[in-house]
Structure 1
Amino acid sequence: MTSEDVLIHKHGRVGHISLNRPKALHALTLDMCHAMSAALTEWADDDEVEAVILDHAEGRGFCAGGDIAFLRNSALNDGGTSGRKFFHDEYQLNHQMFTYEKPIVAFMDGITMGGGVGIALPCKYRVATENTRFAMPETGIGLFPDVGGGWYLSRLGGRLGQFLALTGARLDGAECLWAGIATHYLPAEMVAEAKSRIIEKPDRISGVLSEMPGSPPKARIEENADKIIKHFASDSYEDILASLEADAENNGSDWATKERDTLGTKSPQTCKVALRQLAESAKLDDFADNMRMEYRIASRVLTRPDFAEGVRAVIVDKTNDPKWDPATPEGVTDELLDAIFAPLPDNEEWKPLGG
């Protein structure tokens, strides 16, 4: 399987995958997922390949996400059939990368959001730069932080994962390193040199990256760490909103006011789904079980009203006036959440590649 939107090479002992869809900020299509998966499968059995580099060919993005227009079209026109296929195979790629036995080095030199997070965070080495813009912005379009988001976000310290999942906040490269999302930080001008050195010495990637010059600036989000722990402590969405509201109204907190107002624009359904998703994922020991859970969620929320409406308002019409259904957190009942998280019939459940 090949795709012109993914450039696949070998440089001596290193496999090289470059996303090549710059006009769409390298957002993933189904063909791109298949091409990447095929390359990784081939290199897994190739004794000459010791490591893999993952980057983007040109433009501002590392990877801005999945093919949202395709998914919305599926929700509106085929009952979600092709969209579920996309999620299924994308999640297989995510799992394949998570369990890959050879080290993968992801260069997150640019926008890394949604589906881009799903292919960056499984990698053993995750390199951020001053250009990195990391986010899981799904609450703004009625989806949810998928592609393994439940696993990764729930394992960040200080309730940072819950904060990122609900608000869609963007982190720069220094903040990604501070949070543990990135393993290394490099100035963008050093990225090409780092790749060359890895190609020369794929057996000592950690040393190569650690020896590169350049230090990150102070992580700005660190200043708000205590506020995040305080206000996002609960797995109840209503509790989080009440905490922010109290600080905003009683203490005049600009930060609490900003985050309260941000959450006021998000899908209540997605926010409650995300909190349950992270709470459930934190209990899991197997990444495959996490992806199985996320596929169940994806299969349901894809065709619920908020997704098509959120994409319309934010991406298609750009009016930023989504009409959420349910419109309030109280309207998102436990019964609705139970239905979204319920197991699928055995023949419809997600399975790992080859499973």
Structure 2
Amino acid sequence: MTLESYVNSYLHPIGKGFFAEITLNRPKALNALSSEMFQELQKLLFSFKEREDIYFLFVHSSSTRSFGSGGDVKMVGQELFKNKESKAIEEFFKLEYKTDYLFQTYNKPIVAWGDGLLMGGGLGIFNGVSHRVVTPNTLLAMPEVAIGFFPDVGAGYFLNKKFQELGRFLGVTGARFGADDALDLDLADYKIEGMKKDEVFSKLLGETWDIGEKAVGEKLSGLLSQYALNRHENDKKYGQLLKCEDEIKVKLQSNDWKEVCENLLFWKNPGNAWIEESLAYFRKGSPLSWALSFRYLKEASTKSVKDVLLDDLNFAFQFCRGEDFREGVRALLLDKDQNPNWAFKAIDKIKEADLDPYFENIINRELMDDYFSSEDLLDQNHRHQAFQSKGSPQV
């Protein structure tokens, strides 16, 4: 498969204008998003942005298995082992978070059809759009703690939007959840049967859209609502989070990261298979990532999406300096022995002083703020200047 075909686009004529279809097309990798894919997405978003004859965008996958399984962290891990000061890693995270910011702040309505896996970097893109469709087949997660990383791609913003303790539970444990949970936490807007996609698409083609930007968004909302399933209809396993809300809030109500992590670590709930499954994911993760992720999500709760994404950039580079991210990628994605040797074997061995360095700023924040807002596709002026005078991350 050629690089160009990983992200495809097509302008569909409708009346006097068009709607733009963007297809993620890397099915063998479950649409793991690469630097090149982020570049192509940015090019398309910028090219459509100022065109008044493009009314809205429709983003989906060529496969029902996965809208986006995450960022291409396998590539990042390979780079970490090859070159401790890899510019490819710097470029990857800058491209990923800038792409997330573009989706979050885009000036046209965007429909995202999130069928199949919707995890990590895929969820970062999906949560930036105006009209978010999930299906009964959608499986969502922010599973980064399993590889010694943290819930990034703006999760500090979107996991904190509603029922904050529940969002933090998802971020710290890496729990898998479904369409109804996504609706409950304002991580999706509509649940529609996956088999209805072609019908919805045909309906979009048959409508009149030369009606003004605000009216287009409202009309899309009305059209998608016509296809939306009643809550919990036709699902064998419907939303779990709100059913467990009181229990989860008790476990996560403390401001002390160590207390919260210990609450989760020793929580037993044999009567709830979903909680037990979620805690099993949690226990396989990095203890350092547990602690850092909870503190990070807690501190992000009042921040703007741009500030969160800038924090993500800084935090990602800090993780590249540490041991657990590289070790997690090795154990789960490269060697696949499923036996990571974490820097800390137990949460009680971690001290506040072990966390504090991760929160120190090492990026040139003013320059990166400008880069996120610019239309500098290849980052000609900023690419090698993400960091303060100390230089690139020593990973």
Specify if TM > 0.5. Answer: yes
Counterpart of 1:333 in structure 2 is: 351
Note closer, same or farther for the CA distance 1:48–1:143 as it changes in structure 2 (3 Å cut): same
Contact preservation (8 Å) 2:55, 2:108:
yes
Shift of 1:261: 4.7
User: Are residues 1:205 and 2:220 paired?
Assistant: yes
The letter of the residue matching 1:293 is: D
Counterpart of 2:312 in structure 1 is: 294
- Aligned-residue RMSD, C-alpha: 2.2
Q: Matched residue of 1:350: which SS? A: helix
Paired residues for 1:123-272 under 5 Å: 123-201=129-207, 202=209, 203=216, 204-212=219-227, 214-217=229-232, 218-244=238-264, 248=268, 260-272=279-291
Shift of 1:315: 2.2
User: Are residues 1:318 and 2:336 paired?
Assistant: yes
Counterpart of 1:9 in structure 2 is: 10
Instruction: Give the Cα separation in 2 of the matches to 1:185 and 1:254.
Output: 24
Note closer, same or farther for the CA distance 1:111–1:42 as it changes in structure 2 (3 Å cut): same
Note closer, same or farther for the CA distance 1:287–1:245 as it changes in structure 2 (3 Å cut): closer
Question: What do residues 181-223 of structure 1 show as CA deviations (whole Å, max 9, x unaligned)?
Answer: 1101101111221222234335210010011153342423332
Shift of 1:335: 2.6
Note closer, same or farther for the CA distance 1:269–1:72 as it changes in structure 2 (3 Å cut): same
The letter of the residue matching 1:75 is: L
Instruction: Give the Cα separation in 2 of the matches to 1:93 and 1:36.
Output: 7
Instruction: Give the Cα separation in 1 of the matches to 2:322 and 2:293.
Output: 15
The letter of the residue matching 1:311 is: V
Note closer, same or farther for the CA distance 1:277–1:200 as it changes in structure 2 (3 Å cut): farther
TM-score, scaled relative to structure 1: 0.92
Shift of 1:280: 1.8
Note closer, same or farther for the CA distance 1:191–1:234 as it changes in structure 2 (3 Å cut): farther
Shift of 1:51: 0.7
Paired residues for 1:53-64 under 5 Å: 53-64=58-69
Shift of 1:279: 1.6
Note closer, same or farther for the CA distance 1:22–1:59 as it changes in structure 2 (3 Å cut): farther
The letter of the residue matching 1:210 is: S
% identical aligned pairs: 28
Contact preservation (8 Å) 2:310, 2:365:
no
Shift of 1:123: 0.6
Shift of 1:126: 0.6
Note closer, same or farther for the CA distance 1:282–1:170 as it changes in structure 2 (3 Å cut): same
User: Are residues 1:91 and 2:97 paired?
Assistant: yes
Tell me the number of residue pairs that the alignment of Structure 1 and Structure 2 aligns: 351
Note closer, same or farther for the CA distance 1:198–1:234 as it changes in structure 2 (3 Å cut): farther
Instruction: Give the Cα separation in 2 of the matches to 1:345 and 1:258.
Output: 37
Shift of 1:348: 9.0
- Unmatched 5+ residue regions in structure 2? 210-215, 233-237, 376-395
211-220 or 146-155, larger mean C-alpha shift: 211-220
TM-score, scaled relative to structure 2: 0.83
Shift of 1:238: 2.1
178-187 or 132-141, larger mean C-alpha shift: 178-187
43-52 or 334-343, larger mean C-alpha shift: 334-343
User: Are residues 1:354 and 2:374 paired?
Assistant: yes
User: Are residues 1:45 and 2:45 paired?
Assistant: no
Note closer, same or farther for the CA distance 1:247–1:174 as it changes in structure 2 (3 Å cut): closer
The letter of the residue matching 1:272 is: A
Shift of 1:59: 4.4
Note closer, same or farther for the CA distance 1:132–1:347 as it changes in structure 2 (3 Å cut): closer
Counterpart of 2:73 in structure 1 is: 68
Note closer, same or farther for the CA distance 1:280–1:247 as it changes in structure 2 (3 Å cut): closer
The letter of the residue matching 1:344 is: I
Contact preservation (8 Å) 2:258, 2:291:
no
- Unmatched 5+ residue regions in structure 1? none
> Which of 38, 41, 64 is residue 36 of structure 1 equivalent to?
41
102-111 or 70-79, larger mean C-alpha shift: 70-79
Contact preservation (8 Å) 1:174, 1:216:
yes
